[in-house]
Structure 1
Amino acid sequence: MGRVISVQDSVVIAQSPQVLYGMISDVVRMGEWSPENRGAVLAAPGAPVGVGTVFDGANRRGRVSWTTRCTVTAAEPGREFAFRVHAIGGRTRRLPARIAEWRYTFEEHDGGTLVTETWTDDRPWHDAAARAFDYVATGGTTFAAFQRGNIRRTLRNLKAAAETA
């Protein structure tokens, strides 16, 4: 059986698609909601975030921290925001690699917005190698299962922040 390379989850949030898009597309703030990401630094601080925008994400899982280099691949206000992770490493040295894509969609739903977060594994690894790496990196599970949990926590935290704003 091949590995699961994409997982997603959704939540309805009592806010407009435009407000929620604004929160998610402000990648510097992602650490407010994500259990793993600690925020980001834009390559061009202050510039509008759109397709082609490059940023470095700061991440932590337990005692391990790392940075990722990302590029925005979709930026349709109130509809969709996505970025591709294409390098990983320490603060100053990153190895180019196909890592993952993160996508958020926003649809009006019952007076609020249905927000869907999707993670897609871009690693071109053989399934056995990916499973072995995943087991070590996640503490005993697959990245798909691990990211499913991260997505649930991110959406729950986003909902709480958006509905109390």
Structure 2
Amino acid sequence: MPRTFTVSDSIVVHVRPDEVFRQVADPARMGEWSPENLGATVHGDVGETRVGTVFDGRNKRGAFRWTTRCTVTAVEADRLFRFRVHAIGVRRPRVPGPIATWEYRFEPVPGGTRVTETWTDDRRSWPDFVAGAFDRVATRGHTFADFQRGNIRTTLRNLKKALEPAPDTA
């Protein structure tokens, strides 16, 4: 069976697109929603994220922890935030190579924003059997596509819960 290189999911968040975009386009905040990411350290000027911004993401899966080097590749205010993961390591991202691209799209809908999160496997040069074997070890039996499908679902649900105003309890 051929590898699945891209998976995505969407959710409607009852918050304006500019507010959702502002939160998601800050790499340091991702750890608040992601089941694997613990946040990020932005290199250079800390401020508005723009194309070329470099950050190191801290991640965990079970007891295993690692760091990735990422570069922002697209920013369209209130519409799009994308970055590619291009190095990995335990404490510091020392091993370079194409790993993945993450994209977030923000679409205004009545009463809020449709947020679409997409993961793309950038390990195109890996033979399918090597990627499959690695994936099953790294994800405890899953392909990365199936594993990331679950992570995306969890991230979007957590984002919605964190950003939407609490219902009145009066």
User: TM-score category by the smaller chain?
Assistant: over 0.9
* Gapped regions of structure 2 (runs ≥ 5): none
Match of 1:10 in 2: 10
Deviating more after overlay: 85-94 vs 70-79: 85-94
Shift of 1:109: 1.0
Corresponding position: 1:77 with 2:77: yes
- Name the % identity: 59
Establish whether residue 116 from structure 1 lines up as the match of residue 83 from structure 2. no
The aligned counterpart of 1:153 is 154
TM-score, with normalisation over the residues of structure 2?
A: 0.94
Shift of 1:28: 0.4
The code of the aligned residue for 2:128 comes to: D
Once the two structures are superposed, what CA deviation does each residue of 1:113-136 show, in whole Å capped at 9, x if it has no partner?
100000000012110100000000
Map of 1:24 onto structure 2: 24
Matched position secondary structure for 1:47:
coil
Separation (CA, whole Å) in 2 of partners of 1:93 and 1:5: 23
Say if 1:154 and 1:93 are closer, same or farther in 2 by CA, change over 3 A: closer
Q: CA separation in 1, counterparts of 2:109 and 2:129?
A: 40
SS at 2:52's partner residue? Answer: coil
Residues 70/93 of structure 1: CA separation in 2 closer, same or farther (3 Å cut): closer
Code of the residue aligned with 2:130 in structure 1: it is A
Deviation at 1:45, TM superposition (A): 4.6
Is residue 56–residue 69 contact of structure 2 (8 Å, CA) maintained in 1?
yes
- CA-to-aligned-CA distance 1:75-96 (integer Å, 9 cap, x gap): 1110000000000002235200
Letter paired with 1:63 = A
Deviations 1:54-108 (A, max 9, x none): 0000000000000000000011110000000000002235200100000000001
Structure 1: any 5+ residue segments left out of the alignment? none
Pairwise CA RMSD: 1.1
Cα distance, 1:47 vs. partner?
Answer: 3.4
Which amino acid in 2 is paired with 1:81?
F
Alignment partner, residue 126 of structure 1: 127
Aligned to 2:140: 139
TM-score, normalising length: structure 1: 0.97
